[in-house]
Amino acid sequence: MNPMPVVMYLMGLEAEHGLLTELGFAKRPHPEGIGSSLYLREEALLHSTGLWYRGVLYHRPRERFYRAPIPPYPPAVHPEAEPLDFAEGLAHFLPFLKAYEDAVAQLRGEGRERFLRRLPPGARRHLKDWKALFAGGTYAQAS
């Protein structure tokens, strides 16, 4: 199960539409000028190539989780980062991801259905996993 490509795509859309700042993230330029901006919130950091939460990094290019300090910021991975079993990394992220989805649903007043219909192929193949992760919630349902 790997819902993270869908998570990363949706967070990217929210960054593009200014929703991340409404959710308490501060937009900052990448210190090394690499790629997209960083979005920082207490205990979380988002870049187009990774999501870091409480000492664990999801690195999108490798589709892996690492126990890793910050900095360096994504796309870099700390040289002493410890690879984690995918299930362990996902379990670590789960409280953050569920709280994030709840906040998005509350702010938008709607589910994700219209965005999920337009996923790029790389994320679309993981849609089943995303829906399974959030089963029982109203995340994918339209209002």
Q: pLDDT tens-digit profile of 49-61?
A: 999 999 999 999 9
> Is residue 137 scored above 70 in pLDDT?
no
Q: Is residue 59 assigned to a domain?
A: yes
Domain count for the chain: 1
User: Phi and psi (nearest 5°) for 140?
Assistant: -95, -5
Please choose, from the candidates 98, 93, 112, the residue with its C-alpha nearest in 3D space to the C-alpha of residue 14: 112
Q: Residue 69 domain-assigned? A: yes
pTM score over 0.75 = yes
Confidence (pLDDT) at 109: 76
Q: Is 48 a domain residue?
A: yes
Q: What is the pLDDT of residues 88-133, one digit of tens each?
A: 999 999 999 999 999 998 988 777 888 899 999 999 999 999 999 9
Domain that holds residue 24: 4-133
